A and B are shown apart, each in its own frame.
Chain A
Amino acid sequence: KQEVTQIPAALSVPEGENLVLNCSFTDSAIYNLQWFRQDPGKGLTSLLLIQSSQREQTSGRLNASLDKSSGRSTLYIAASQPGDSATYLCAVTGGGSNYKLTFGKGTLLTVNP
């Protein structure tokens, strides 16, 4: 059974700092890995999708990397802003159940002005 772990569970940083969020998964037979953002009381917004054949994806100040063989992904946020405050979720597709996303429990990020 695929399991996804996110470390740390919560992170508080001052504005302008660069930061890294970590995600690990137990079954490396994945098709892709997605990073989502969830604001309080809201739905999930897809930030980046990395296909299993890719090593990284970039969108603006966000960069996600994937090391499939070791079961790890990182989300790098450059020059953090208070508007980046949210819960960040990592999810993988694969591990035997077609199209099913297995989610981590998320990292709650607070960026202080």
Chain B
Amino acid sequence: NAGVTQTPKFRVLKTGQSMTLLCAQDMNHEYMYWYRQDPGMGLRLIHYSVGEGTTAKGEVPDGYNVSRLKKQNFLLGLESAAPSQTSVYFCASSRGQTLAKNIQYFGAGTRLSVL
């Protein structure tokens, strides 16, 4: 059981380039999330999805877009990368049952550097 898989694991971009980060989960989870982790800032929610075809903004959504065309996949796009987007990106998923029992399962992360 793979759980949550993120692709790619590492990437270096030049300012202004675009890219898409892919997150796939095989647990049939309804909810999926994208976080970024920065030194001294902790993890912050970028966007999330509560089901196929839905997306919503999190705490730091500017400069990112997302899509959830299939239940198992959640894509994070950077249309014009900026150095401020250098970070480690984590995807997570959860069953989306009652809030009290909502355990989130995380992928291994994507390390992105924007030069």
Contacts and interface: CB of A to CB of B under 8 A. Distances in A.
Interface string B50-70: 100000001100000000000
Contacts of B104: 34, 46, 101
Contacts of B4: 43
A49 B45 CA distance: 19
Mostly, the B contact residues are: mixed
Interface stretch (A19-27, A70-78, A92-100): A92-100
Interface residues of B, number: 29
Mostly, the A contact residues are: strand
A52 interface: yes
A106 B45 contact: no
A100 B43 contact: no
B42 A103 contact: yes
B94 interface: yes
Nearest to B91: A43
Given A99-B50, A101-B45, A104-B42, A34 B103 contact: yes
A2 B107 CA distance: 24
B74 interface: no
Q: A interface, how many residues as a size bin?
A: 20 to 34
Given A99-B94, A101-B45, A103-B42, A42 B109 contact: yes
A53 B100 contact: yes
Contact of B100 (A36, A44, A52, A98): A52
A103 B42 CA distance: 6
Interface of A: 4, 31-32, 34, 36, 41-46, 49, 51-53, 89, 91, 93-94, 98-101, 103-106
